[in-house]
Amino acid sequence: MPNINPNTRVSAEQTQANVEAYLALKKIPDYVPINPEHSVEAATLCYEELLAAEEALIHADNTAAAARDTVRRARWKLQNVIVGAKGEVKVRYGLDSNEVAAIGLKKKSERSKASKAKKVVAGE
């Protein structure tokens, strides 16, 4: 039994089969349904609505892709400006200044000193 729940998606395969059935239905010259909702005219309206909806989806996908590209470029522009600004703050105010800490970097004095690893003597 086919799925009749309108809240679930119709698969691409089923949609293709429906389009093929619609195209075949148009070629039957003496088809006159008892229910007018099943007429060739009704199927034509639904098919045209499907084509318009698919076209709108393509345009929406293209718009979303363009928006993602715009966001990506804006993020990189901000990244490059902030990296440059951090470098200038370090040069202008010094590596141990409060301004360096204010922009999210560690002061030079707050960094841990590199320690040499102690050698373990065998046998002790």
Check: CB of residue 65 under 8 Å from CB of residue 58.
no
Look up residue 99 and give its two tokens. 């301004």
Query: What is d(CA 87, CA 100) in angstroms, rounded to the nearest whole number?
Result: 9
**Structural domain boundaries of the chain?**
12-106
pLDDT at 6: 83
Give CA separation, 33 vs 38, 41, 52, in Å.
Answer: 6, 11, 26
Check: CB of residue 51 under 8 Å from CB of residue 43.
no
pLDDT at 2: 59
Query: What is d(CA 79, CA 63) in angstroms, rounded to the nearest whole number?
Result: 24
Q: Is 97 helix (H, G, I), strand (E, B) or coil?
A: coil
Q: Is 63 helix (H, G, I), strand (E, B) or coil?
A: helix
> Closest Cα to residue 108, out of 98, 96, 92?
96
Instruction: Tell me the per-residue pLDDT of 15-66, one tens digit each, with 9 for 90 and over.
Output: 999 999 999 999 999 999 999 999 999 999 999 999 999 999 999 999 999 9
DSSP structural state of residue 5: -
Instruction: Tell me the per-residue pLDDT of 67-100, one tens digit each, with 9 for 90 and over.
Output: 999 999 999 999 999 999 999 999 999 999 999 9
pLDDT at 124: 55
Backbone CA torsion sign across 41, 47, 51, 53: positive
pLDDT at 73: 98
Q: Which of the four pLDDT bands, split at 50, 70 and 90, describes residue 3?
A: low
pLDDT at 113: 77
Full-prediction pTM beyond 0.85?
A: no
Instruction: Tell me the per-residue pLDDT of 10-19, one tens digit each, with 9 for 90 and over.
Output: 999 999 999 9
